[in-house]
Amino acid sequence: MATTASVERGTMARAGGRLADREGALGMLFLAPSVIYIVALVGFPFVLAILFSFSDVTVGDTSLDFVGLRNFRSILASPQFVRGLQDSFVFTIISQILIIALANVLAVVMAENFRGKWLARMLVILPWATPIALGTLGWLWLLDSKFSPFDWILQQVGILGPGGLFGPRLHMNFLGREYLAMASAIVVYVWRTLPLSTVILMAGLTSIPQDIVDQAQVDGASYLRTHLRVKIPMIYPILIIALLFGVIFTFTDMVVIYVLTRGGPVYYTHVVPTWAYIKGIQGGALSEGAAVALFLFPVLLGVAMLLLRVARRMEIS
Amino acid sequence: MFARRPWMRSVFVYSIVGAFLLFLAAPFLWMLITTFKADRDLYRSQNNPFLFNDPPTLDHLRLLFNQTEYVTFWRNSFIVGTAVVLITLVFAVPAAYSLARLVGRWGERAGIGMFLVYLIPPTLLFIPMFRMVVAMGLNDSIWSLIVVYPTITIPFSTWLLMGFFKSIPPDLEEAAMVDGYSRLMAFIKVVMPLSISGVVAIIVFTFTLTLHEFIYALTFITSSSQRTLSVGVPIELVRGDVFYWQSLMAASVIVALPVGFIYNFFLDRLVEGFTMGAVKG
Amino acid sequence: MAVVETEGLKKYFDDVHAVDGVDLAIQEGELLVILGPSGCGKTTLMRMIAGLEKPTAGEISIGGEQVTQLPPRDRKIGMVFQSYALYPHMTVFDNIAFPLRSEGVFTKEEIKSKVEWAVGILGIQLLLKRRPRQLSGGERQRVALARALVKEPRVLLLDEPLSNLDAKLRASARDELQRFQRRLGITTIFVTHDQIEAMGMGDRIAVMYAGKVRQIGTPLEIYHDSEDTFVATFLGSPGMNLVDYGDYILGFRPENFHPHDGAEVPPGNRVFDFSVERVEYLGADRLVYGMINEASEETLVVAKLPTTVKTSVEPGQQYPFALDVGDLHYFDKETGRRTTPVEQR
């Protein structure tokens, strides 16, 4: 019986051909399809995006006529774009600061053992797991100008309505007023990204050896000191990763603003991706849209380099 | 701080967790309640939004399923998701194995390169991608998504699986090869069975990635019969200027809850991928 | 005055009695070693003294003060873990300064001078700017010690601090540690599973097994006057022989069991018939394995003969072997505790 099995296996090996044994070639064969796919459907469009941005391509006129920096100049001259670029940074930076602070608190308490922890974790990641558009829809209704439950609560407490702190109006109109709309967008960004950052932080905190934490206790450090001076520095790479992913997901996101405000009121909550959509697809000026979208790239490049630096630092230590 | 009064610690923990849960999960509870609220109840701003002042109704659910394209959206999302998962597996599994075992030093660089591709977002590429899709004749069809989504899912899946394969001791494959298997067979017979959990995680995340995706779906597709859930629900379930809120909330919650539940199971693998294996979830 | 006292200290993890009633009184300046095999509860005991585990029952006091309810930071102790637990992202200086900074009452100059004092004692002045990953095992151990000492604690707790060192380093590290403890006169509790370490270092040794302290005494006391069968067999290499002997368990150490030459039995000696089964030549000693015919059951015993004993011993033969009566230990069959047999009372 043993003989038949080894003969069978031997035959299989030979039937697979020498290729199955030549590791370098096998490696190429395994890798090539994915590389080709990516180059064709990511690399090529990327080059196209650059080409478009220097041309006058529209939905109607598909010929690629070179126009130099005209698109970029007109973009930078438009107040909507400048505001959009500003908002992209403002939203991303503020939401990330909030997220890091909140994720620290939540990660610490979630590290405790308490009843219903599995359920709690599921509820915590729900905003992240839900398709962005659908989660944002929920907030669209939560912040509705006429029927928001927040308005109702504020009315009951007396903050809205005659004599109230924000009164005598009955509704906050969260999405219709410039700064309130911006703040609402930030809240939704935080809501959506907090779960991911928290979970990453949680994983980082549990990877710290118990000995170190015990030693800090014996050394007389308070809980806060241990957290800030011992634990957090030990998980810097992980923190940075959580931060960088948060930046990417928020900075390049188009859905939240599109569903929540469509860039309104007026153009006050536009961000770069939504403006690219409005200009390029809705407006049909593909070249201008492409040029707008390209402004995302420098930030992404910066993030990518930071991530690489972190990865390298982790390999060393 | 809580050494002398340990019970206070529990109170502290539960109240902070509670506060966060309020922020993170309460919107879904609210959406669930809204689903069943009668029009008369919902559209009265004086009414308590958290209670059923008029009896709850299934009307909006019926509207959602019978009078809108919601079911079509589910079907399309499912088809796209399944197809993309299959394509991703076919491309990413061998690629990951190759990077993990077969290509050495520059394999690691290539691996990082793969990961960085993941950082080129759809919001940067969607305009030229749109032209390419039109040129391929795929616009306004779910096939455009089936072809394009793998550009997002393959890099991440490859990265995740690569880390996973690396964590399997090479001794096992080497023992198989000593026993007479070729490298290819060793991969199929030894490594694959051990990687089931990693592959399942990939399947889950790839599928949910396709559920989440918005901008390609918005840009490439205009007919409601071809729309997926992510775009169909916010765009199509609005009749003219009228938002059928209860149905919209229902539509969202029906997707959110199962996805959240399944995500929770595979979260640890996802974190491993994100933190580049720095932390074993 | 007893610096550290525990009374009826217990720690139960569900059904497991990790520590099952321990009473200790450790004197000022004493180096007490807690010795036992893994799982005996010694680390749990130390962690309770440190405040890292809450006792299920019992009291602990340090320096006369009841500390059972206090967290570790309020107990004024220094501790070194087996892994040394150096903060990887901090320099050696910052590691050692950490306890002082945590107290929050010292100025920068005070911290600097205290750290310099601590590194002076341990001879690691040149390492101040390095990070833990750049240090050798021995260097890390000294940094951990300096950190433990810098706040001048009342008690120093050492959890197997030598286990992570190379075997060659261990002996000299042990010597240094002991001299250094003597010089500082700091009350120290040292946990180990290595009896050679324990015997070499301790002023007193507390032998632990299954959550209880079986015996506490000076190294000589616990070795020559072992009070129970566990202590008797745990100490010594090889440990004490135990044989069934009528109503008792008879114990004697291999090195006391020698061939008897000559016809006369000197007073104060007992002679046994020893059937030799096997002889091992270890260079400096011979280990002779066999059975004593007088024993109630067939048990293998060992005799350890130094090279000075020239008598030839062959397997398969029977020889008279003698013991000094004072080297005979009787243990109760049920409790395993040392007892005096009826005939001798």
pLDDT digits (tens, 9 = 90+) for C166-192: 888 888 888 888 988 998 899 999 999
Chain A contact set for C47 (CB, 8 A): 214
Query: If pLDDT is split at 50, 70 and 90, which confidence band does C294 have?
Result: confident
Distance CA(A208)–CA(A230), nearest Å, equals: 10
Please state, rounded to an integer, the average pLDDT across all residues of chain B: 84
A222 touches chain C (CB under 8 A): yes
B234 to A125: CB separation less than 8 angstroms, yes or no: no
Q: Which residues contact B165 (CB under 8 A, 6 or more apart)?
A: B96, B97, B100, B101, B191, B195, B198
A64 CB within 8 Å of a chain C CB: no
Percentage of chain A with pLDDT > 90? 33
Question: Which positions in chain A touch B48 (Cβ < 8 Å)?
Answer: 152
Q: Which of A236, A203, A100, A106 is nearest to B272 (CA)?
A: A203
pTM score, whole prediction: 0.83
Residue bearing the bigger pLDDT, C308 or C2: C308
A147-156, B101-110, B216-225, B234-243: which has the highest mean pLDDT? B216-225
Q: A5 vs B88, which has greater pLDDT?
A: B88
pLDDT at C129: 92
Percent of chain C topping pLDDT 70: 99
Look at C102 and A234 and tell me if their CB atoms are within 8 Å.
Answer: no
The secondary structure of C48-76, three-state, reads HHHCCCCCCEEEEEECCEECCCCCHHHCC
Chain B residues whose CB is inside 8 A of the C69 CB are: 3-4
**Could B281 and A290 be called an inter-chain contact, meaning their C-beta atoms sit closer than 8 Å?**
no
Q: What is the largest CA-CA distance in chain B?
A: 78
What's the confidence (pLDDT) of residue A315? 64
Q: Are C293 and C275 in contact (CB under 8 A)?
A: yes
Q: C98 and A219 in contact by Cβ < 8 A?
A: yes
* Cβ separation C73–A222 shorter than 8 A: yes
Q: What's the pLDDT at A139?
A: 93
Q: Which residue has the higher pLDDT, A22 or B182?
A: B182
Say how far apart CA C258 and CA C277 lie, in whole Å. Answer: 16
Average pLDDT over residues C278-287: 90
pLDDT at position B216 is 93
Nearest CA in chain A to C150: A219
Q: Nearest C-alpha of chain B: how many angstroms from A93? A: 18
| Partners of C4 in the β-ladder | C26, C62
Q: Which of C79, C83, C89 sits opposite A234 (nearest CB)?
A: C89
CB contact under 8 A, A222 and C99: no
Confidence of residue A21 (pLDDT cuts 50, 70, 90): low
Q: How far is CA B70 from CA B75, B232, B248, B255, C286, in A?
A: 9, 8, 10, 11, 89
Q: Does B185 touch chain A (CB under 8 A)?
A: yes
Distance from CA of A79 to the nearest CA of B (A): 21
Neighbours, chain B (3 or more CB pairs < 8 A): A, C
- Please report residues of A whose CB lies closer than 8 A to that of B116: 304, 307-308
When CB atoms are compared, the residue of C72, C82, C90 closest to A217 is C72
Q: Which residues of A touch B231 (CB under 8 A)?
A: 133
State how far the Cα of C143 lies from the Cα of C231, in Å rounded to an integer. 34
Average pLDDT of the residues of chain C: 90
DSSP 8-state class, residue C126: G
- B/e letters for B82-111, b = 16+ CB within 10 Å, e = fewer, are ebbbebbbebbbbbbbbbbbbbeeebbebb
pLDDT at A5: 45
Instruction: Please report the pLDDT score of residue A13 as a whole number.
Output: 43
Average pLDDT over residues B51-78: 85
Percent of chain B whose pLDDT exceeds 90: 25
Bridging pattern class, strands C301-306 and C285-292:
antiparallel
Average pLDDT, chain A: 85
Question: What burial class does residue C172 get, using C-beta atoms within 10 Å of its C-beta: 0-12 exposed, 13-18 middle, 19+ buried?
Answer: exposed
| Highest mean pLDDT pick, A234-238, B274-278, C40-44 | C40-44
Q: Which distant-in-sequence residues (6+ apart) come within 8 Å of C22 by Cβ?
A: C6, C8, C9, C10, C41, C45, C58, C208, C211, C212, C213
pLDDT at A8 exceeding the cut of 60? no
| pLDDT at residue C334 in the model | 87
User: Does residue B87 register a pLDDT over 80?
Assistant: yes
Write down the pLDDT at residue B13.
Answer: 84
Q: Is the pLDDT of residue C293 over 60?
A: yes
Contact A138 B249 (CB under 8 A): yes
pLDDT band of residue A10 (cuts 50, 70, 90) is very low
ipTM of the complex: 0.87
**Residue A265 — pLDDT band, cuts 50, 70, 90?**
confident
DSSP characters over C29-47: T-EEEEE--TTSSHHHHHH
Predicted confidence band at A6 (pLDDT cuts at 50, 70, 90)? very low
- Which B residues in the span 58-87 are in contact with A, Cβ-Cβ below 8 Å? none
Residues A105-119, mean pLDDT to the nearest whole number: 84
Instruction: Indicate the DSSP class of residue C218.
Output: -
- Residue B279: the pLDDT is 58
Q: Are A27 and B117 inside 8 Å of each other by CB?
A: no
Q: Looking at the predicted structure, is the pLDDT value of residue C241 above 70?
A: yes
Residue of chain B with shortest Cα separation from C51: B3
Q: How far is CA C344 from CA C18, C227, C318, C330, in A?
A: 38, 17, 28, 11
Angular region, C130: left φ>0, alpha ψ -120 to 50, beta rest: beta
Q: How far is C12 from chain A (nearest CA, A)?
A: 20
For residues C10 and C1, what is the distance between their CA atoms, to the nearest angstrom? Answer: 24
Q: Which residue has the tokens 């879904």?
A: B28
| Partner residues linked to C22 by β-bridges | C9
Q: Is the pLDDT of residue A22 over 80?
A: no
Which residue from C85, C87, C103 is facing A220, i.e. has the nearest CB?
A: C103
Share of chain C above pLDDT 90, in %: 52
Contacts of A137 in chain B (CB under 8 A): 233-234, 248-249, 252
A180, pLDDT greater than 50: yes
The pLDDT assigned to A12 comes to 43
Best mutation target among A141, A150, A169, A247 (most B Cβ atoms within 10 Å) is A141
Whether A298 and chain B come into contact, CB under 8 Å, resolves to no
State which amino acid sits at residue C161.
P
**Which residue of B lies nearest to C54 if distances are taken between CA atoms?**
B3
> Residue A207's pLDDT band (boundaries 50, 70, 90)?
confident
Q: Which chains touch C (3 or more CB pairs under 8 A)?
A: A, B
Closest CA to A313 of A249, A264, A240, A231: A240
Across A6-10, A229-233, B136-140, C135-139, least confident range? A6-10
User: Closest chain A residue to B119 measured between Cα atoms?
Assistant: A300
Cα separation, A286 vs A97, whole angstroms: 34
Distance from the B1 Cα atom to the nearest Cα atom in chain C, whole angstroms = 9
Q: Residue A142: its chain B contacts at CB < 8 A?
A: 27, 30
Q: Do A38 and B13 touch (CB under 8 A)?
A: no
The confidence score (pLDDT) of residue B8 equals 80
The whole-angstrom separation of Cα A239 and Cα A235 is 6
Whole-angstrom distance, CA of residue B129 vs CA of residue B148: 8
* Closest C-chain CA to A317: C133
Residue A69: the pLDDT is: 86
Contact C322, C265 (CB under 8 A): yes
For chains A and C, CB pairs below 8 A equal: 63
pLDDT higher for A163 or C188?
Answer: C188
Q: Which of A95-99, B22-26, B241-245 has the lowest mean pLDDT?
A: B241-245
CB distance B123–A106 less than 8 Å?
A: no
CA distance B247 to C77: 64
Q: What is the nearest CA distance from B261 to chain A, expressed in angstroms?
A: 6
What is the number of alpha carbons within 13 Å of residue C291 lying toward its C-beta? 10
Contact A234/C at CB under 8 A: yes
Residue-wise DSSP of C131-179: -GGGS-HHHHHHHHHHHHHTT--SEEEEESTTTTS-HHHHHHHHHHHHH
Give strand pairing partners of C286. Answer: C281, C305
The DSSP symbol for C261 reads P
Which stretches of chain A are assigned E, i.e. beta strand? none
Q: Which amino acid appears at position A70 of this protein?
A: R
Residue A16 confidence class, pLDDT cut points 50, 70, 90:
very low
Judged against a pLDDT cut of 80, whether residue A296 lies above it is answered with yes
pLDDT in tens, A57-72: 887 777 778 888 888 8
Chain C residue numbers with beta carbons less than 8 Å from the beta carbon of A217 are 51-52, 71-73
